[in-house]
Amino acid sequence: MRTELQRLEREERPRVIQAIAEAREHGDISENAEFEAAKERQGLVEGKINDLHSKLGQCEIVEVSEGSVDRVIFGSTVDLEDLDTGEEARYRLVGPYEADLAQGTISVTSPIGQALIGKEAGDDVRVKTPGGVKNLEILDIDYAAQS
């Protein structure tokens, strides 16, 4: 989130301000489509910046020592087996704004994340997801600091 905020503040905001200035140079701004588009873009960029500032202001750092943990907690990496298909997957539990299934991270507030919290290796978990019911076994739990 910090990277996106910096990009918006250092690159997008100046780009939009420049676009507004260039559009003003074209004369009457009351019927200037370029000016209107640039002002709309400015509103979107400023909205995103404010949203990210708000989210970062509410974040809390959670400290956990590295190593093996007995139960699934925020930040844990969990190896799972789908008991219906035999497929195995590895996920790290993160906050809702960091979740990206393609990167192997799931939100602790997602149905699977909520079902895993507090469970131990060897536990079977039944989860209702938007795609249907999943029967999972927790194969391993680890916690390693992420950079």
Residue 64 in this model has a pLDDT that exceeds 90: no
pLDDT of residue 97: 83
Supply the mean pLDDT for the chain.
Answer: 88
Q: Which two tokens stand for residue 33?
A: 């489509």
Phi, psi of 140 (to 5 degrees): -155, 150
Indicate the range of 18-32, 37-51, 81-95, 97-111 predicted with least confidence. Answer: 18-32
| The pLDDT of residue 32 | 83
Which residues are within 8 A (CB) of 29 and not within 5 positions of it... i.e. 6 or more apart? 23, 35
CATH number at residue 81: 3.10.50.30
Widest Cα–Cα separation across the chain: 70
- Over pLDDT 90: what percentage of the chain? 61
- Split into its structural domains, the chain has a count of 2
Q: Which of residues 144 and 53 earns the better pLDDT score?
A: 53
- CATH number at 51 reads 1.10.287.180
Among residues 27, 58, 89, which one ends one of the domains? 58
Residues 85 and 129 in one domain: yes
Map residue 31 onto helix, strand or coil: helix
Look up residue 62 and give its amino acid. Answer: V
- pLDDT tens digit sequence for 65-89: 555 568 899 889 999 999 999 999 9
pLDDT (average), residues 2-9:
92
The answer on pLDDT for 147 being more than 50 is no
